[in-house]
Chain A
């Protein structure tokens, strides 16, 4: 009666041994020559976007293994809504991945503070592969928390059949709505950063920048208030609603991420128009850029850490960066040495223009936003529901922006 537990262990061991024999011992990975890579997938992404992301990493892994046949790189995917939980689960078992490709640097700091990420040290030579402003945007208190891979700027997506050309200014956008074209916007002040920047507000201020000196919060909120009064402007809560709205032709114009382009292209074909976001009275929109980021795991051995870094830098070399930029068409290379044929690729050209004015929040700013998400959401609701006029919301918003951590540097 007492042999049961021991029997289970014996069965498990014999199963493993027989499987080793079946597979052939030479196929078994050598100690330390294998790294685990995790790819974060957006939880609300459709099949096209998911397979695009998987193909991107799959190609890189395949190419890396072709050049380094003695190394094993295994990758699997985790949905963004389960990322923290899944990484914590694996770490508690000693199985934290060596490398994680994040959709953007948003969760970077909380992952680092939760012990799920480890900083990477870079030599001067290695720093040459990435613009310093981008590296700085992934720094926290002198620690390099990640390495950028691709930049995915926020753009404007529209129906060519309805709009000959995209609205160039925020006033034009209201004009388009008044003319009867339906516009979709985020019901979230954080995602409307591009609109605020058009009025001279810096949603993610850098060191030395003082919002009060600029003081254009009120006009920005007034514009939002007026937009809310337009019957053809709809505010939605999720990216998915915006994307589906344009694909199903309920919206004619939406702000979109470059990562959505393949999905929208599949639904709309040649009818899909891509442009930069409309400028405001104070200048061009300075939209947020999502930076796909390599993050390093906390439980790797020195060999695994070296291999993970080797693989990450393999994806940063100019050839791979160029291939990714051209094949995917959804992200822009971060390596400044890469030159792209922008004339032949109009979407990349629009992305390049947008990136010229884009901003990238640093990890602390992202964390600040996620801590204050409820407060920001409440302010948005008050404004859009009309329970509080814009001028009464200004002080609260001003306070939030004043307390936001300053960025080390901005992309100028």
Chain B
């Protein structure tokens, strides 16, 4: 660690050199000029020529001041290099700033094709940390020898030590591979969807599988670069086996279950499942994400996200509305009608009423049945098909309201429960 401190002191000493300070002063002056000019120009609020014709220009507007700053810095650097012949440090700052700016433009373009939430997550989790790391490493490389820094031994493991470079690769490399594999995996899955005309759930499943594959390849490349000690790896593997037998068993079981479910295709992102069903089974959830340990489900009735361990789907039976055939689902409304009305009339009315609901499928046609003779009423059921299993409850409500309106109009009675009481005689009482 002392060596790292020495290198850092050297970095500070270099920063105080006259020629270096001159470059930073030039950049500082350019920055000051930008602060003064940007208020005068108000580029972000001003109307741009062609703004109405090209919507893309409007999206770029928030970057106007960033672009202006880059221009100021670039001009200052060019002037410095022309007059003094020394300015590559300032040029590095300008180039790095341009890189940051290009990533912003790239993200704006990405937003045209991907959901804003995905792009924002990529920005926060991948792009910004990557820029910080690249900037820090490249800035150091301007002042000192990067190889020297990376070859410093930070961890001693017997005869072989772990250098700072290897440690950085292991930690930062692993992080960036895990978070950075999202977009390439999506692109790969999109290509597969185009070639094999995959359904939406199959597309999402292949994106996840592609991410696992890319991450695994990346991690193997990192281990090969670090020069992994196979004896050490075997020892870690042995320790992990014991760990799996005890504490990590559940984690591992969930991970394998997740992989199996993906390969089998029984649970895929986009599927609709009935899980933790309430009494009438009307509690569908949509699979949002099949993670390494757990699956995230979305329940529309109360807009909650349920995190269910993958193993649950592996060991329990479940109802899915998005299997291999289609996503159609049958709904039913049960209603009691007074005994005095003709069953055939009621059945005709129920079928006609259900057919008027827009979200009820015309084919197969709604079907009404007499289900039972109850104490106070004859019980009928109207059964119909819907396209989206997530809409079951809403459509049932619409059908129920329509039936009530029809019965009201046609004078059909929905009876209250009735009970006949008989009073006992006096003789019997004695």
Contact = CB atoms under 8 A, between A and B. Distances in A.
A91 to B, nearest CB: 7
Interface stretch (B61-69, B201-209, B226-234, B344-352): B61-69
Interface in A1-33: 1-2, 4-5, 7-8, 11-12, 15-16, 19-20, 23, 27-29, 31-32
A95 B145 CA distance: 12
A21 to B, nearest CB: 12
Most buried by B among A19, A74, A93, A299: A93
Looking at chain A's contact residues, is the secondary structure mostly helix, strand, loop, or mixed?
mixed
B128 A4 contact: yes
Contact of B86 (A8, A19, A20, A94): A94
Most buried by A among B16, B101, B108: B16
B131 A4 contact: yes
B17 A94 contact: yes
For the complex of A and B, the 6 pairs showing the least CB-CB separation, nearest first, are: A94-B19, A5-B100, A92-B88, A29-B13, A93-B89, A34-B13
Contacts of A4: 100, 103-104, 123, 127-128, 131
B23 interface: yes
Most buried by B among A2, A36, A72: A2
Contacts of B5: 23
B20 interface: yes
B196 to A, nearest CB: 35
B97 A27 contact: no
Interface string B4-21: 010011101110111110
Contacts of B139: 12
Contacts of B136: 12, 15
Nearest to A11: B132
A15 B137 CA distance: 13
25 contacts: A1-B107, A1-B108, A2-B63, A4-B103, A5-B100, A5-B101, A8-B128, A8-B131, A12-B139, A19-B8, A20-B12, A28-B12, A29-B12, A32-B16, A89-B88, A93-B20, A93-B23, A93-B88, A93-B92, A93-B143, A94-B23, A94-B87, A95-B19, A95-B20, A301-B18
A22 to B, nearest CB: 8
Nearest to A303: B18
Interface in B130-189: 131-132, 135-136, 139, 142-145, 148
Nearest to A301: B18
Contacts of A20: 12
Contacts of A36: 10, 13-14
A399 interface: no
Contacts, number: 101
Interface in A150-209: none
A143 interface: no
Nearest to A16: B12
A297 to B, nearest CB: 11
B22 interface: yes
B119 to A, nearest CB: 9
A48 B16 CA distance: 35
Contacts of A89: 88
Interface string A31-50: 11010100000000000000
B62 A2 contact: yes
Nearest to B128: A4
Contacts of A65: none
Interface in A187-238: none
Nearest to B107: A1
